[in-house]
Amino acid sequence: MNRLILLAVAALLLLAPGCNKDAIDQASEPTDKYDANHYIRLAESLLAEGAEEVEYRGATVTVPAGSVDAIEDAVNQAGQGGTVILESGLHTEDATVVINYKVKITGQPGAIVEFETGDETVGFPYVSNPGFHILGASNVIIENLYIRDANESGPTGILIEGSNQTRIRGNTLEYFELGIAQYGSDNTQVYNNVITGVLSFGGVGVLNVVGNNMKIYFNTISNNNLDIFVGDRGGLIMSNHFNSTGATGLLLCTPNIGGVYLVLPSGQTVAADESANRWLVLRNYSENHAWNYLVIDNANNNTLVNNDGDNALLSDIEMAGDSFRFGFFTPTSFGNLAISSAYPDITIKVCGVDNEAVGGTLIDTNQFPCD
């Protein structure tokens, strides 16, 4: 039975989203690098940076329940600095809603937005074809909505492209292959959302292709192959709950296979330039994956602190060395640190170069070799 499970996981991973091959310089180490409290204080300061509310002083437009293809017109009518309120009830959209302005879209209790923008991606690279497309607009907020695909198998719920200081908060997203995807955007915050995917091979709850200083916290993410998959640098992933039966709850790697990964609505095919580096991963809970947390393929200088896990098929945390587990070569991770002082039973496999673990239960790499 265990052999059959492992073979099934191996088949799944051959088609899982892949990772790029570019290393970067290692970061300098703090003097208190093994002190979990240091990282808690750091996380608090990072959250405080973006805590100030943005003011929206433009027009307010209310969209009544039962609307059809009305949201983008409401956004344009509200204009720069405006607010769009979706009344309680169902709002249907047959095409992507493009957001080009600083605007807040907020739902009254029970507001539902149902998209029919096509089926989930078949093949590779992944075609975004989003419901909401935030394009070239800073300080956009989408909040308090239930966003779903009409056919229970849509491509992307929200795409953030070239838009800084976006906040996606308090939403429920359901039935999308990519729940929230980001490219070329910095200082995004994704928090207090419930994201339920479709468990496809390319299924990701939150995807960061390119974007610095992203903060992903207080979310519940399930039913994906990868619950969170990030490249690029300098973000915070904190206090999320990952519960899927796919490959991993958190993948620190690079969305890039042969120079491509995601097709934008413009038709441009994009991929990440940097492996995940300098991310702080703090106090998350991940369960029921092959690896609850996986650091691989040049991912470097990331710090994982007191993350809990349960029922991992292979390990709770792995910092991988050179590997062919995805069906192609992925070079070693390096300079990463896993601290598990709060969870001594968390299993940690330390491979790669200059990776360290403090606390937890180390997996014997003589018995279970690095691959």
Whether the Cβ atoms of residue 337 and residue 317 lie closer than 8 Å to each other: no
Give per-residue pLDDT as tens, 104-151: 999 999 999 999 987 665 567 888 899 999 999 999 999 999 999 999
Residue at 274 is within a domain: yes
Query: Rounded mean pLDDT of 214-229?
Result: 97
How many structural domains compose the chain?
1
Does 305 have pLDDT greater than 70? yes
Closest CA to 178 of 163, 161, 191, 195: 195
Give per-residue pLDDT as tens, 43-65: 999 999 888 899 999 999 999 99
Helix (H, G, I), strand (E, B) or coil at 70: coil
Confidence at 326, pLDDT banded by 50, 70, 90: confident
Closest CA to 205 of 220, 195, 215, 213: 195
Query: Rounded mean pLDDT of 31-38?
Result: 89
Average pLDDT over all residues of the chain: 91
Tokens of 371: 């691959």
Tokens of 248: 């991993």
Contacting residues for 201 by C-beta, under 8 A, at least 6 apart: 12, 15, 16, 225
Cα separation, 264 vs 310, in Å, equals 36
pLDDT at 345: 97
Whether the Cβ atoms of residue 279 and residue 301 lie closer than 8 Å to each other: no
Cα separation, 95 vs 84, in Å, equals 18
The residue count for the chain: 371
Residue at 103 is within a domain: yes
Helix (H, G, I), strand (E, B) or coil at 74: helix
pLDDT at 122: 57
Residue at 17 is within a domain: no
Residue at 326 is within a domain: no
The pair phi, psi for residue 60, each rounded to 5°, is: -110, 125
Does 22 have pLDDT greater than 90? no
Between residues 117 and 291, the one the model is more confident about: 291
Residue at 358 is within a domain: no
Residue at 25 is within a domain: no
pLDDT at 186: 96
Helix (H, G, I), strand (E, B) or coil at 369: coil
pLDDT at 29: 52
Cα separation, 352 vs 323, in Å, equals 10
Residue at 333 is within a domain: no
Query: For residue 105, how many other CB atoms are within 10 A of its CB?
Result: 28
Cα separation, 268 vs 15, in Å, equals 22
Containing H/E element for 97? strand 97-99
Confidence at 31, pLDDT banded by 50, 70, 90: low
pTM over 0.75: yes
Pure H helices in the chain? 2-14, 36-49, 71-78
Confidence at 199, pLDDT banded by 50, 70, 90: confident
Whether the Cβ atoms of residue 77 and residue 58 lie closer than 8 Å to each other: no
pLDDT at 126: 84
Tokens of 315: 């390990």
State what percent of residues in the chain have pLDDT above 70: 90
Tokens of 261: 């990964």
Cα separation, 276 vs 295, in Å, equals 9
Whether the Cβ atoms of residue 60 and residue 365 lie closer than 8 Å to each other: no
Does 97 have pLDDT greater than 50? yes
Q: Where are the strands (E) in 223-263, listed by range?
A: 226-230, 236-238, 241-243, 248-252, 262-263
Residue at 200 is within a domain: yes
Contacting residues for 215 by C-beta, under 8 A, at least 6 apart: 46, 47, 50, 188, 189, 190, 191, 235, 236, 238
pLDDT at 52: 86
**Torsion angle in degrees (nearest 10) through CA of 85, 90, 91, 95:** 140
Does 1 have pLDDT greater than 90? no
Tell me the CATH number at 211.
Answer: 2.160.20
Does 357 have pLDDT greater than 70? yes
pLDDT at 18: 53
pLDDT at 206: 98
Closest CA to 275 of 248, 295, 303, 245: 295
Range of the domain at 191: 35-289
Tokens of 166: 């976006």
Does 348 have pLDDT greater than 80? yes
The one-letter amino acid at 196: T
Closest CA to 198 of 159, 172, 225, 220: 225
